[in-house]
Amino acid sequence: MRVSRVRKKLRSGKPVICTKINTTDPVIVDLIGLMGFDCLWICSEHAAVDWDRLGHLIRTAAMNDMDTMIRVAKGSYSDLIRPLEQGATGLMIPHCMDQEEARKIARTTRFHPLGRRPLDSGNSDGSYCMMPLSDYLRLSNENTFVIVQIEDPEALEHIESISKVDGIDALFVGPADLSHGLGIPGEVNHPKIRAAIERVAQACGSNRKAWGLPVNFENAPKYLEMGARFLACGADVLGLQGYYQDLRTRFEDLGIEFSPKI
């Protein structure tokens, strides 16, 4: 079983750098892995990625010694377990509301003695039953990371207790949904959002819990100074968009006509 780069860095207090894909092509995963990112964020909450394709993306990342974090649909325990059994290194669970929910997530995603994760070592993460069961349980607990998203005002009321839950490796602020819940949809730089981020940072700092959020070049230094250690930056669709917009602009300057739909 691979040693998780995310867990290793978080244990040592070093910042983790993660990037997101919205497409489902292993070639793009391969390219990102060659760049040396710690972790690839794959979304199955909003994106239409099936289980078979998810397995290919996870394996391609692993070939480049890159962790994969699957943002799962908020559903049954099977939605948490299946990505791990396909070899995913970590999970991101959306809309965690309180300590009780965080505890259930930790219990479901950790093996004995940390939890009661459903057990089946016959898949990729257990080397298809070729790994001794005791090693499988231990190495899974050591190299799986679990992140809960804080993206609702209700969760902020419980942020202190959520940040105390063992088995949750980090809290991740979701500014977009949080702005929606606070009645300021899309205003991710609003003072209410800044106050929420500060509240998460303070709670995690007090309880020695890692935390993170989406960042850009301009605000990353500020959040690192505040103690953020899980940084998500960029996405494949944004990169492609910027590249092709630049091409269009340059060729329009040469008199070439385009027919944009947006």
Delimit the domains of the chain by residue range.
5-252
Please compute the mean of the pLDDT values over residues 48-55 and round it to a whole number: 89
Cα angle 230-236-239, degrees, rounded to a multiple of 5: 105
Report the share of the chain in percent with pLDDT over 90. Answer: 93
Query: How do residues 233-250 score in pLDDT, each as one tens digit?
Result: 999 999 999 999 999 999
Superfamily of structural domain 5-252: Phosphoenolpyruvate-binding domains (3.20.20.60)
Residue 212's closest CA among 62, 33, 39, 48?
39
For position 116, what pLDDT does the model report? Answer: 96
CA distance linking residue 180 with residue 10, whole number of Å: 30
pTM of the model: 0.93
